[in-house]
Structure 1
Amino acid sequence: MSTLSCIKRDLVHHGRLAVAALVLFAGCGSSDGDDTRSYLERTLAQQFVSETSQLVTLQTYRTEDPQSEQLVVENLTRSRDYLMGLAQEFNRGQSTLKLEPFEWRRAGPAQTQWVFGFRLGSGPKKVAILAHLDTVPPGNADWRPFEPRVEARDYRGAAQPFLVGRGAADDKGPAVLALIVMRALANRYDGTNALDGLTVELIFDTSEETDFSTAYYFQEVGVPDFGIVFDAVWTVRAEKGIERPIFTVPLGPAPSNGIFIEAFNSAPGATNQIPDTVTARINGNDEAALDRLAANVANLYQQYGFDDPLYRRAPLEVSRDAKAVVLTTKVLGAQHGSVPDENRANGASPVVSLANFLAHLVDDATLAPNGVGRMLQFMAWGWGTTVFGEKHPDLLERHDQVFEQGNGTTYALTRVTTSPQDVALRLDIRYALGHHGVAWDGKSEGQLPGTSVFPDAFEQLVNRFQQDRPGQAVTVTTVNAASPDVRDPQSPRFQRISGAYERAVGAPMPLAAIGGGTDAKGQVNLVAAGPLFTLAFGPPINYHGLNEGAPIEDLQLSARILYQIMLDEIANKTTR
């Protein structure tokens, strides 16, 4: 491809984002041949897809299965060995500056606390790049999550090649890019003293989706002087707090007459992932009523009026299992628990759709009341189809000057499970400053001290439900997983990133206040930045969802930005 064709292509995708990148890295199909292309460009073009694909084939997600941890650790070990092999192969061509492997590991209460990676240099000042190799569960296997392949998808106004597979975007693709950047730095500075006094460290977390191993690692060895968490968007100036409540209702005895919801279960998965499917099983001693329901329920579902007439209902399938009627809803759109608003706008939640509909059938006495029905009534009463807490704004709705209206506290109803004892609802809540017990002073950086106000808010919520809708008691327990983290975009570290970004892409650096939690949370020396240029986590990227795909050209552009950031840190290591 000629350089002119390359410029035209990238301008379609990135507008001004591509211009300076092509000036700085004039290797996008240079007519002078591959010999004149930079090491970074050659490696991005020739090795990114194949190296990421090797990692994607390895299943590194955790579940509640007792055997899960062993399998995850085995596959993470294979991932480590593969990456170590890439480093060893690279080092054979180096004279003085080589990638030095390191590893830190210990047994945790529930899972292995483990990070590993590579270092360049050995000076006292430390600059780091962080990525992670664990993923969320794949959901159903229909989309072949561990068979990586490249396919064209419409993205940001044009077709772009995507690498498809679990972890391609989050965060195995970015992890490989980070290793490519490290090799490019070593290649550039081999045989020089440019890194004297400095250590550049690439850290791979193995439990970012569950327990954040890097937090334990930093407690023991200290936090880098500066670092980029390469697992987000350009560029994160604030992360919401995270709350994880569990609401429960006793299942109680089965109704003696009529038909009732025997079980309501979301597909297995993480709380921070909107499930692929939800299944409700309806049973009872009235077989004629079950037959009528099976014949009519699809029409009833389509005719049911949700609290918003424009609400997009999840697809419903009806089947029979012996006499029982089985209802299954399927997800559409974004699945990351941090963006239920995006799923609400452009997709459909199988939990919300089926819960609201079945609560209605309990309300109108089509279904006999029991513990499952009571829980679904609570879900419909408490949230309906809303995601910002609009049904009880005094308790649940908050936004502020950082997490503005339309980006305030969000509620993703992600997991419902029925056991012989009770039915339980789990929420993934990403909350704004007003839901924290300690107010932000408007200037301090980092995580807010203290905990959230949700224990009191939830107690008021369930009491209000009991008064409005008397019946079986709803109980709640909650865990404050993380407090909000706010940064100063005018701080020196943000200005350094902004400067590198503008030199690399020729456009001002965007800022984002996000719901997702990253390894930067609570570590003011670290900034979550890249590799994505959009907060749209639904199709075609499908962050945490089915058909996850990494936009290859965008990720390669992000590697160029990261490379520029590291060049600046090395050039100015004595003054920062």
Structure 2
Amino acid sequence: MNDPRFASIDAFAEQNRDAILRDITRLVAVPSVEGTPAPGAPFGPGPRAALDKALEIAAELGLATHNADGYIGWAETGPVADGQKYLATITHCDVVPEGNGWDADPYTVRVRDGWLLGRGVADDKGPAILTLYALKYLKDNGVALKYPVRALLGVNEETRMEDVDYYAEHYEQPAFCFTPDAEFPVCNGEKGGFNGEFVSPVLEGGIIRDFAGGVAHNAVPDRAFCVVAVPASRLKAGAGLTFTEENGLTTIRAVGKSGHAATPEGTINAISLIVSCLLESGVCSETETAYLQVLAKLHASTDGSALGIAADDGLFTPLTIIGGTIECKDGCLRQTFDCRYPTNTDADKLTAAMQAVCGTAAKLENLTSRVPFYIDAGSPAIQTLINTYNEVTGENQKPFTMGGGTYARHFPYAVSFGPEHADLPLPEFAGPMHGANEGANFDKLIEALKIYILALLRLQEIEL
């Protein structure tokens, strides 16, 4: 590393290791799944409490803070005057539900073999604390800033991203923004997103009494159950399935392997295990069977080929689709899906293909979509980030595109920038983002802090 500033950055990051761990632990301890809106808490009390805690930590670090009506907040190195260009980072303090399969309390950070375990250590509370310490470095060292820096703290990223919509409506956008909510080195493009529900007809005269599973539409479910009015002896056994009988009803329970909807490789969808069991057992009514056959095509492969929607444009990774949650409501089954698609398809094509699969057995409801976005990898800010990453790590990486959806697409000039490492295997005791025992390598988080500080310094040196 030839940059003379790096010695100071390295010393700062190492000296603050204990404090960073302490503050990540404090923020993770606040359960912040979206809840019922309340005055001053538009996304529920949990996200608001997490925002308050993050701003409290920022104030303790000597940073100026602002809470924008509970929709979003920020810390900054100094006031941003009207019309003044500024830089921003954006992380989020909300999390997906804890789900099942944890070895310990999801909201108590554990340290094991250099890994932090807890809901949000990777997505995105750990990175949120890193951005606050990056600003602390700028403040403590009296860095003269051409562009003030604002560390935005969102609280609605995991569901609708209405926090950044609120910000765009009420505040000037940054000249450039990066979000530490993905993988290194630099992600300069994100697939489109297509979400909705497969809804059954009203199921009368069948054998299904209840069916539930999953914790979020954008996570592969690792638990599901279904209550059916048939004896267990008529059900086909399978891996991950257990049956219990009581009062003439059988409860089928399934255990799979969870993971993020954007990277479903290696996951096992618990809902699909039950769907397969019911179809192979041949116990359902004609209406139930027809609907389950639609779900079987959804779950058959995560590339959408069974639904006739597979797509690959050579720019992004191929299309993915997963079934996230299922519930029985008003006599109907409702299966959510989460699809991430490249540029050679669109929501209209996906809708038409999936409606053809549904026929009269199911209908599509609550459809939403977002188009892919892409920023030229040769642009000055992105080159600054990728060069900084490569110099700090000694690697020779290039920007990439991904299936995940981050805040970056909501800003005019933005990318996602770490801190995850796709090539770093998870230990047996740690899980992925959105999974049980969510883990983050602490040394890599500290390295990311160094990268962020140096990148923010270098972004001051280019024209935005």
Judge same fold: TM > 0.5, yes or no: yes
Matched residue, 1:335? 259
Contact map agreement 1:60 1:72 (CA 8 A) in 2: no
Deviations along 1:358-390, whole A, 9 cap, x unmatched? 11222xxxx13154433212222x245311122
Residues 299, 323 of structure 2: 8 Å contact kept:
no
What residue number does 2:355 align with? 459
Of residues 72-81 and 557-566 in structure 1, the stretch that sits farther from structure 2 once superposed is 72-81
In the TM superposition, 1:113-262 aligns within 5 A as 114-121=71-78, 122=80, 124-140=84-100, 142-143=102-103, 144-152=105-113, 161-189=114-142, 194-195=144-145, 197-212=146-161, 213-234=163-184, 235-255=186-206, 260-262=207-209
* Paired amino acid for 2:140: N
- Partners of 2:426 and 2:301 lie apart in 1 by 18
* Aligned with 2:24 (options 39, 44, 52): 52
SS in 2 for 1:418: strand
Q: Counterpart of 1:115 in structure 2: which amino acid?
A: I
Q: How do 1:327-476 and structure 2 match up within 5 A?
A: 327-332=252-257, 334-340=258-264, 342=265, 346-362=266-282, 367-369=283-285, 371-380=287-296, 382-392=297-307, 395-403=308-316, 407-436=317-346, 452-463=348-359, 473-476=361-364
Cα deviation for residue 271 of structure 1 reads 0.6
Give the root-mean-square deviation of aligned CA atoms.
Answer: 2.8
1:271 to 213, 217, 238: 217
CA contact (8 A) 1:24 1:504 kept: no
1:226-255 Cα shifts (integer Å, max 9, x gaps): 111111112112111111121112233224
How far does residue 62 in structure 1 lie from its aligned partner after superposition? 1.9
Question: Which amino acid is 2:64 matched to?
Answer: E
Say which SS state the counterpart of residue 300 (structure 2) adopts: coil
CA separation in 1, counterparts of 2:299 and 2:91? Answer: 37
In structure 2, stretches of 5+ residues that fail to align are none
Instruction: Write the letter of the residue equivalent to 1:50.
Output: R
Aligned to 1:17: none
Alignment of 1:318-329 (within 5 A): 318-329=243-254
TM-superposed CA distance for 1:55, in Å, is 0.9
Query: By how many angstroms is 1:25 displaced?
Result: 4.9
More helix by share: 1
Question: Post-superposition shift, 1:103?
Answer: 2.3
Q: Which amino acid aligns with 1:460?
A: A
Instruction: Tell me, yes or no, if the aligned pair for 1:409 and 1:429 is still in contact at 8 Å.
Output: yes
Q: What CA deviation, in whole Å up to 9, does each residue of 1:16-51 have, x standing for no partner?
A: xxxx499975589xxxxxxxx7223211x1211110
Change (3 A) 1:244 1:201: same
Tell me the alpha carbon deviations over residues 85-124 of structure 1, each in whole angstroms, 9 at most, x when there is no partner: 4334333xxxxxxx2212222xxxxxx6x11111113351
Which of these two proteins has the greater Rg computed from alpha carbons? 1
Query: 1:220 and 1:164 mapped to 2: Cα distance?
Result: 36
2:433 is matched with 543
How far residue 72 of structure 1 moved from its aligned partner, in angstroms, is 6.2
Letter in 2 for 1:216: Y
TM-score of the aligned structures, taking structure 1 as reference length? 0.73
- Is 2:173–2:411's contact at 8 Å kept on the other side of the alignment? yes
Q: How does 1:518-557 map to 2 (within 5 A)?
A: 518-534=406-422, 540-557=430-447
Q: Deviations over 1:505-548 (max 9, x none)?
A: 22223433211110001424111111112178976341101111
2:458 is matched with: 568
1:292 aligned to which of 233, 239, 244: 233
Query: d(CA) in 2 for partners of 1:426 and 1:185?
Result: 44
Q: 1:148 to 1:21 in 2, by over 3 A?
A: farther
Structure 2 counterpart of 1:148, one-letter code:
V
Q: Provide the residue aligned with 2:373 in structure 1.
A: 485
Name the CA distance, whole Å, in 2 between partners of 1:548 and 1:390.
30
Are 1:82 and 2:53 matched, yes or no?
yes
Residue in structure 2 matched with residue 309 of structure 1 by the alignment: none
| SS of equivalent residue, structure 2 residue 354 | helix
Does the CA contact (< 8 Å) of 1:537 and 1:543 recur in 2? no
Percent identity, please.
22
Structure 1 residues without counterparts, runs of 5 or longer? 1-19, 29-36, 92-98, 106-111, 153-160, 285-289, 303-312, 437-450, 467-472
- Provide Cα deviations, 1:408-428, integer angstroms capped at 9, x if missing partner: 111101122122421112111
* TM, length-normalised to structure 2: 0.90
Shift of 1:480: 3.0
Distance 1:337 1:139 in 2: 15
Task: Work out whether residues 183 and 419 of structure 2, in 8 Å CA contact, stay in contact via their aligned partners in 1.
Answer: yes
